[in-house]
Structure 1
Amino acid sequence: MDKLVFITGASSGIGQALAWRYHQAGWRLALAARRTAEIENWAREKGLPADRYAVYGADVADTGSIVAAGRACIERQGVPDAVIANAGISIGVDTAVREDIDVIGRTFATNNVGLAATFHPFVAAMAQRGSGALVGIGSVAAIRGLPGHGAYCASKAAVVAYCESLRGELRPSGVKVVTICPGYIATPLTAQNRYSMPFLMQPEDFADRAFRVIEAGDSYRVIPWQMGVVAKLLRVLPNWLYDKALAGRPRKHRQTQ
C-alpha cells in the first residue's frame, strides 16, 4: 500500500528528519510549514521525486491556516495514514515581564491549539476509514516544570494530557493516538540552550526510533529511553529536593535575548 504521512514543522529539525525517514520507508509525504521554500530546497537536495511529496504553506498558530492545509492535503493526496503534529516553539519566559505574557499565549497557540487544529481535518475521515495514527510530539519537559521555562513545560504537559484524552475518544474507531516525548535533540530549537543537555540525540536517530514507535502504535514513549528514566526519577523527587537540585540552573533564552 502506498502510505501517506502529513508532518507539520517539516522545514527543519525533527520534522525534516521524520520526513526523510518516512521517505526512506517508501511513504508519500505531505509536508507543512511556514517556510515552504526551505522544504522545496531540501527536497531538491535530497532528490525526492516530485510525485512523492507535496508542500503546504501553513502556520499552526493560525487555526484557519493549518486546517486549510489539512483539507488541501486530503483533496490533493488523500487521507493520510499518519499525521504528525510536530511544529512547536520554545521560548523562555518571565511572568514579571508584560511582553512575556504574550509569549505564553503564542506558545499555547502553537503547541496546543495548533496541535489540535492539525489533527482536526483528518479525525472524521480516519475514523470513517477505521485506521490511521495521530501523533503528538510532546517533550520530556512535560514531566516537571523548569525555572524560566514555564510556557514550554506547561504547553508540553498539555500535549500529553490532550493526546491521552483524544486516545480514549478515538479508541472505538480504530484510529490510534501516539504521544512521543523527545529528550534533548540537536535542532535549532535547542542550539541556543545555556544548560547541559544529557543524552543529546541527533535528529536522524530520533526520527528512526520515532518511526518505529509510530509503526508499532505505542500510546506513549519517551525517546531516548534514558531520558524516560531520568524523568520518572525527577517526578518522584519531593518538591524541596527538586527545587534545590535546580537552584542556579541557567534559564532558557527569552525572546529579547
Structure 2
Amino acid sequence: MNAPDASPLVYITGASSGIGQALAARYYRAGWRLALVARRAAEIEAWCVSQGYERARWAAYAADVRDIGGIVGAGRQCLAQQGLPAVVIANAGISIGVDTAEYEDLDVVRLTFETNNVGLAATFHPFVRPMSEARRGTLVGIASVAAIRGLPGHGAYCGSKAAVVSYCESLRGELRPHGVKVVTLLPGYVDTPLTRGNPYKMPFLMSPAQFAERAFRAIEAGASYRVIPWQMAVVAKLLRVLPNPVFDRLLAGRGRKKRRGQ
C-alpha cells in the first residue's frame, strides 16, 4: 500500500473512453494517481502508455460493473495495491432507446438498470466502510440531465438516471455523519459514443474535456449536486416546473433515442 504522503488517488469506472477517460486525464494533470476500471483493461493500458503517463501513477483493472463480484473485486484490489482513494467516480453507464411494446426491449431495461444503478452501488461498496472509518473521501455518482424529466423513447435511461440522483441523495445523508462526501453530477449533452447519432438537437453540447474540467472543479468544491453546464441547469429547472400538458406538447414529434440494433 502507498505511503500516507503519496499523491491522492482517484478511482474511475468506464475509464476507457468518453467522460471517464477525460476525467482520468484531468486528474492526472492535477498530480493525482489513477485507478482506472473498464471491461477492457488493455485499452486503458494502451491509452496511458500513449499519453506518456508515469507507470507508478496509474493502474488498470478489468471489470464489468454489471458483474457485482467483478466490480467489487476490482475495488478491493485497488485498496490492496494502491490504497484508499480520495475520490471514487462511478461513471460507467449505458444509454439505449427502448419501446415497451417490443418484448426484446425489456432486456434493455434490465441491462440499463443493472449497469447504471446496481453497478453504481457495487462500485461504491468496497470503499464505503474504509472511507467511513478514515472519516474522509468523496463518492461521485454520474447521473444526467435526463434525470429531470422523462423523454419519449428514453424511459430506461431517464428512469435509471433519476434513480442515481435519489440513490446518491440517500447515500449522502447516510455518510455525512462519517465525514464522507457524496457528489451527484448531472451532465448535459457531451460528445461521446453515447450521444453521437441522437436524432434530435443537443443544446450546449460539450466535449468530454470541457465536462471533465467543470466536473473536477465541482468535486473539489464538494458540491452535493451540480448540473453541467450551468446553462443546462437553467433549462432543466424550467422543464421541471412546466405543467405536464405544456411539457407534452413541447416534446411532440421529438426524435426518439435509437433502440438496440438500429
Output the TM-score relative to the length of structure 1.
0.99
Shift of 1:37: 1.8
Shift of 1:209: 0.6
> In the alignment, which residue of structure 2 is the partner of 1:45?
50
> In the alignment, which residue of structure 1 is the partner of 2:129?
124
After the TM superposition, list the runs of 4 or more consecutive aligned residues in structure 1 that deviate by more than 3 angstroms. none
1:175 aligns with 2:180: yes
> In the alignment, which residue of structure 2 is the partner of 1:223?
228
Shift of 1:44: 1.0
Which structure 2 segments of 5+ residues have no match? Answer: none
Which structure 1 segments of 5+ residues have no match? Answer: none
Counterpart CA distance in 2 for 1:37 and 1:246 is 42
SS of 2:11's equivalent?
Answer: strand
Counterpart CA distance in 1 for 2:210 and 2:84 is 28
SS of 1:26's equivalent?
Answer: coil
| CA RMSD across the alignment | 0.6
Counterpart CA distance in 2 for 1:171 and 1:37 is 37
1:204 aligns with 2:235: no
Counterpart CA distance in 2 for 1:54 and 1:79 is 14
1:191 aligns with 2:196: yes
Counterpart CA distance in 1 for 2:240 and 2:159 is 15
Counterpart CA distance in 2 for 1:55 and 1:18 is 15
1:58 aligns with 2:66: no
SS of 1:7's equivalent?
Answer: strand
Amino acid in the other structure paired with 2:135: G
Identity of aligned residues (%): 71
Counterpart CA distance in 2 for 1:19 and 1:35 is 16
Output the TM-score relative to the length of structure 2.
0.97
> In the alignment, which residue of structure 1 is the partner of 2:8?
3
Counterpart CA distance in 2 for 1:23 and 1:191 is 27
Counterpart CA distance in 2 for 1:45 and 1:256 is 32
1:82 aligns with 2:94: no
Which digits, 9 at most, give the CA deviation of each residue in 1:20-55, with x for residues without a partner? 000000000000000212111110111011100000
